[in-house]
Structures are given as structure tokens and as C-alpha cells.
Amino acid sequence: MWACRLLHAGLSAAPRGRRAQSALTQLRGVLEEELEAIRGAGTWKSERVITSRQGPRIHVDGVSGGPGTDTFLSPFLLSCCVHTFFTSGILNFCANNYLGLSSHPEVIQAGLQALEEFGAGLSSTRFICGTQSIHKDLEAKIARFHQREDAILYPSCFDANAGLFEALLTPQDAVLSDELNHASIIDGIRLCKAHKYRYRHLDMADLEAKLQEAQKHRLRLVATDGAFSMDGDIAPLQEICHLASRYGALVFVDECHATGFLGATGRGTDELLGVTDQVTIINSTLGKALGGASGGYTTGPEPLVSLLRQRARPYLFSNSLPPAVAGCASKALDLLMESNAIVQSMAAKTQRFRRKMKAAGFTVLGANHPICPVMLGDARLASCMADDMLKRGIFVIGFSYPVVPKNKARIRVQISAVHSEEDIDRCVEAFVEVGRLHGALP
């Protein structure tokens, strides 16, 4: 009898095993077809492996440093009495390390101190047993920096955007979103049950028409990036706030590509455009200018922050921010609030790069933002030029669909305060050489 049962079990298992194998084979076929289409379109994205800390000069696995990689010390580092030298390696022009703080010795030391005092992590969410004094202190500092009532931390700004709209807006409400908002804003809006309106990029006439249409709803929230990460353009917040006031709407701004370096003291686009008291809610990141590790936040009215602590799913169901990350971000804010010299340094270098690239014949989108998209159009051209730039000691990345629209491929250059003027000039020279080689310049 047992032999019969074993034989029957074996016969039954065999078809199931074959069906499972068949499903896996089918999946592999579907995936390979999709991957081959990406390769064929010239939009394949390869990861380059960095073997050093982030900075203006980096070491890249399998790539030797380009010419002219002599030791330098930037004026900002000198002014801060920092004695770290970046010797040899590849010039990095594609990181969001706007202020150069990701490898600042004081920022690193603050992270080490937090690690020693508070441990590697909390192994828990905030409301269970994952809140430490370092988190509360950082939230208070963020609110003070942005001149808001309160702030709440998240593991990333993607999480902050995922948590905000669903917790705040109901089917009685409406959200009006710029069509080129960051993917995290788009995904966050999809999660909520509010009525959704999308207005054309930076088109205030279209926004006004949508606001008029949305008057029937209880709350109306205009959502926009402060600085748009692919094009380097800045939202017309004065006009947006004027329309919001006229039609009784609230204003939300994602400041990931503005916090720390736009505005006279680096507070962001609301400071830059003089509307700090008219923007209701700000989301931003600790993973770019403010230390470069990870983490995001929402800052705004205290009742909103309290509601998010009760209902925002990424906050309630994600581990708290690692103490070392909180320590690094806190020190980055201290350095920024002590002096605006680094902000001014970055602005001057941004203008230098844009001026020289335009004089060489390149089209560079945006205005006075350290995101400098060098427009090429063709995805394969952008990828090939980026590869040849790396051979010349310049680390840049080609952006193509689906990250940017089809036929709008570009190499997005990002300027940092710790780039020297010589670094800027070397980058431009390499662009001119490679551009001529590939026919992008005459």
C-alpha cells in the first residue's frame, strides 16, 4: 500500500513540476524579450561601480583616472579648514552632492559619533520603539531651517511623497499636479482617492483653468516640484501661490533638488522666489545636498505632521531612520546654517559651466540651476558620448526614455560646490572633444 501511495505521489508531483518549469520558462522568455527591446532601443542602463567615497573625484572599477588629476583643495574646503585631499581618479559630474557634504569630515564624524552613541539601527518602526532623541532633534532642526511648525522624518523622500497625499486627501478633495512632477509625487497621488487634475508643465493658464474646475471640491492642493530634476527648470512659485490664494487652494512643493543651495541661505525655491509664507507643505530629502546618505521629510503645519504620524503608511510600517544618517544630516544642516559661502560658491561654478557650454554650441536646459541637462536628442548618442567622456576622466550619465521623454535624451551634468574652476573647464573641454567626435558639434 505504501509503495502505491509513493508511486501515486510521484506521478502527481511530476506534472506539477513540469507546469512550474513551463511557467518559469515562459517568464524567462517574456523577460528576455523585454530586455532585448531595451538593448535594441539603446536605452540600456548599466551601473558603474564606484570604489571610493562620493566626492568631486572618485575611483571607478575598471577605469583609470584621466589626465590632469592632480591633488587640489577647493576654496570652500579651505574656508572650512578641511584637510582632506581628493587625489587622482575620475572627475564626478553626475552626483546630487550639490554642496560636497557627503564626504565632509565633520559630517562623517557626526555619523560615527551617532553610530557609537545610538547604535546601527532601531530594528523597529517609530511608534513602536524606534524613536530616539536624535530623530526628534533633527525634526526640530528641519522645521526651524524651513521656518515651519513641525517636521516628520521618513526613510526617503519617495516615502514622504507616498505618505502625504493618501493621509491628507479624501474623495471630497482635489489635487492639481504639474505633468512633469517627479515619479514619487505621481505615485503618491495615485494612492489617494482625491480627484486628480494634471496641468501642463509650468503653464499657469492651464493651472488656473484646472483650479476653476476644481472649485467644487473641499480641499484643493497644488503639487509641484520646486526644481525639476530632468530639465533644471524652476516652478513659478509666485504665480502658483497667487493663483492658489485666488482660488482658495493650498500649495505643496517637493524641494529635493533645491534644499540646501537655492535661495540666499539655501532654504529652497520658496526662499529664492520670496513666497516662504505662502507655501503650506514642503517635502524634501536628506539624500542629496544635506549629507547625501538617505532619508526624507515633510515639514508644515503641526496638525498635518501629527496626522501623518497617525496615518502615513511609510512612516507607520518602515523602520526609523538609522542614527548615523540622522547624525550626518544634522551636521550638514549646522554647516549650512553657519554660512552661505558654499551656496555662493556653487552658484558661481554653475554659471561658469553653463556659460562655457553654451559658447561651445551646446544646448543646456534650465536656468542657473546646478542641474545642467546637455540636450542631445538621440538615446544612443547620449550613451556613447557618456562612455567616451568616462575614457577622458569625466563621469557623466546619459539619460533616455523612460527616465525622460522619447527623443529628448541628454547627458545631465550636475555641478558641486567642491568642483574647482579647473574641474569645470576640463569637463567643458572633454564635452567639446567628444561632441565633435560624434557629430554633436560642428
229 is catalytic: yes
Contact 270, 240 (CB under 8 A): no
> How many Å apart are CA 398 and CA 375, to the nearest integer?
10
Identify the active-site residue in 135, 217, 288, 408.
288
DSSP 124: S
SS3 of residue 90 by DSSP: strand
> How many Å apart are CA 379 and CA 375, to the nearest integer?
10
Residue 340's alpha-carbon distances to 90, 159, 241, 266, 336, in angstroms, are 28, 29, 26, 7, 6
Identify the active-site residue in 156, 229, 318, 383.
229
257 is catalytic: yes
45 is catalytic: no
Cell triple for residue 371? 542641474
Cell triple for residue 295? 532619508
Phi, psi of 398, rounded to the nearest 5 degrees: -85, 135
DSSP 110: H
Identify the active-site residue in 135, 146, 217, 257.
257
Q: Nearest-CA neighbor of 178 among 204, 212, 156?
A: 204
Which ranges of 169-297 would DSSP assign to H, the alpha helix? Answer: 183-191, 204-213, 237-246, 269-272
Query: Looking at the annotation, which residues are catalytic?
Result: 229, 257, 288
